[in-house]
A and B are shown apart, each in its own frame.
Chain A
Amino acid sequence: MLDESTKHRSSSGEISDAELAARIAHSDRDAFERLYDRYAAKAFGLAIRLVGDRAAAEDVVQEAFWRVWRAAKSYDPNRASLSAWVLAIVHHCAVDELRRRRGRGAAVELDAPEREAQLLPDPSADTQDQVWTRVQSEQVQAALAGLPEAQRSVIEMAYFGGYTRQEIAQKLNEPLGTIHTRARLGLIKLKALLAGLNV
């Protein structure tokens, strides 16, 4: 889980992720700027994939990095790489945006064709039910495709759609306990599939 943090160690004189995180926790502006330069493209790529348009993704990225700045003291390098922590915050902010849209009545449908057309590199892809094809990595796509359909649906609705467990249970007409189990088994299986693919 910490492998990302080793990618920026100082063989070339570059500041490591661990040092960056420690400095940002002490309100070091320059360290924060370096962190932004290091991860902004990943963050923006993720935000665009999740919210579907550049303008909203810009807001998501700005809010996510602001939260990184404000919450840097809470980052625990023993539990996640800095990259993973930053991207988890981006995902959180994107989910907030998806829920706000639904709150405004602008429903974000998982299979909205125009949104998919904007996002997917392959316009011939089946856009009706393969939400996971937003993921660029073919290996991760393959891992998602390898999940049992019921588990994949729950993960898609939660991760890509930003739905809460109650909303997922309602949409799938299943008890909450079943949704919990599918999410848990789905993530465990996805982890195993990804490990099998050496991702």
Chain B
Amino acid sequence: MSDTSENVTRPNADPVEDLIALYALNALDADDRARVEHRLATDARARALLDEMRTAVDQLNASAGEVEPPPYIKRRLMAKVDADLAARGAPAREVSVWERLTRMLFPITAALAAASILIAIGLGVWAASLQRQLTQAQQELALLQSPGLRVVSLPIADNAPTAARITFLAAPDEATGLLTVSGLTPLAPNQTYQFWLLRSGQPVAAGTFSVDANGAGKLIVRAADRIGAFDQAGVTIEPAGGSEMPTLSALVAIGSIQ
């Protein structure tokens, strides 16, 4: 089926124009891509050639079919857009009561978004740290906007501090949740708190966390399945780095999340 004319390199081929079909297919590395884009910026003929090549690629793209994405993608994206607008000082839009409430709960989002501008003026490590906090705040905000969000306080084990409070927030249809803790004892460096989700009594590791000097901490939980697929959750103290299965030598809390 091979056409022999395909095996002959065109002797007078323009080396950049020759790359345009592969540019349309996204088959160029960064250097080649930059060469082509430089040409496209100044050469209408190259742009026309690209448009011709793109016709078939566009049809391939459009023929994949439609699949509805999960709603949390949109929430995360719009939270990121809101942070971007805040960082650029855009005028505030009208927001719902719920959004106002969540913003009151997380004022750090706007502050950190504004602070993230500092990244652009080169305050490296500090700004990068702020950006990480901003991302976490955005994730928390998106979680708290999940439809069907449930808030569960886990019963504290007998040998844990009586002031301890452990709360798990998650929507049953989502795979992510937020764990917040207070009143826990800060651990030695060779230990960590570990969160577990249990399905029919079988624990699945769901992340490790530490607490600050006041005993407070939080963890964004990313489960392998929807949270509603699990019936219980618990917290244990494990060796630093976490365990594959709970040692149960130091149970902090366990209870139903249904």
Contacts and interface: CB of A to CB of B under 8 A. Distances in A.
Interface string A78-117: 0111011001101110010000000000000000000000
Contacts of A177: 9-10, 13, 18
Question: Which of A30, A42, A45, A48 has the most chain B CB atoms inside 10 A of its CB?
Answer: A45
A55 B103 CA distance: 28
Given A178-B7, A191-B52, A158 B69 contact: no
Interface residues of B, number: 56
Contacts of A75: none
Given A44-B67, A177-B9, A36 B54 contact: no
A195 B53 CA distance: 13
B29 interface: yes
B68 interface: yes
Given A80-B58, A149-B1, 12 more contacts: A40-B73, A80-B51, A140-B59, A148-B1, A164-B29, A165-B28, A177-B18, A178-B7, A181-B10, A186-B21, A187-B24, A191-B59
Interface string A24-60: 0001011011001100111111101110000001100
B28 A29 contact: no
Contact of B55 (A1, A140, A150): A1
B25 A158 contact: yes
B66 interface: yes
B22 A158 contact: yes
A66 B80 contact: yes
A180 B13 contact: yes
B150 to A, nearest CB: 22
A199 B61 CA distance: 13
Contact of B84 (A42, A69, A134, A190): A69
A179 interface: yes
Contacts, number: 191
Interface string A129-163: 00000111100100000001111000101110011
A5 interface: no
A181 B6 contact: yes
A157 B26 CA distance: 11
Interface of A: 1, 4, 27, 29-30, 32-33, 36-37, 40-46, 48-50, 57-58, 61-62, 65-66, 69, 79-81, 83-84, 87-88, 90-92, 95, 134-137, 140, 148-151, 155, 157-159, 162-166, 168, 174-175, 177-188, 190-191, 194, 199
Contacts of B38: none
B128 interface: no
B11 to A, nearest CB: 10
A29 B82 contact: yes
Contacts of B52: 188, 191
Nearest to A99: B29
Which of A40, A163, A168 has the most B CB atoms < 10 Å from its CB?
A40
Contacts of A187: 21, 24-25, 53, 56-57
Interface stretch (B85-93, B153-161, B184-192, B237-245): B85-93
A76 B88 CA distance: 24
Contacts of A66: 77, 80
B64 A42 contact: yes
A183 B21 contact: yes
A87 B10 contact: no
Interface of B: 1-3, 5-10, 13, 18-22, 24-29, 32, 47, 51-70, 73-74, 76-78, 80-82, 84-85, 88, 90, 93
A3 to B, nearest CB: 11
A101 to B, nearest CB: 15
B25 A155 contact: yes
A164 B27 contact: yes
Contacts of B10: 177, 181
A160 to B, nearest CB: 9
30 contacts: A29-B81, A33-B74, A41-B66, A45-B64, A48-B64, A49-B64, A58-B69, A66-B80, A84-B62, A87-B62, A88-B57, A90-B61, A91-B26, A92-B26, A140-B63, A148-B6, A150-B3, A150-B6, A151-B6, A162-B26, A165-B28, A178-B7, A180-B13, A181-B7, A181-B8, A181-B9, A183-B21, A187-B21, A187-B56, A190-B56
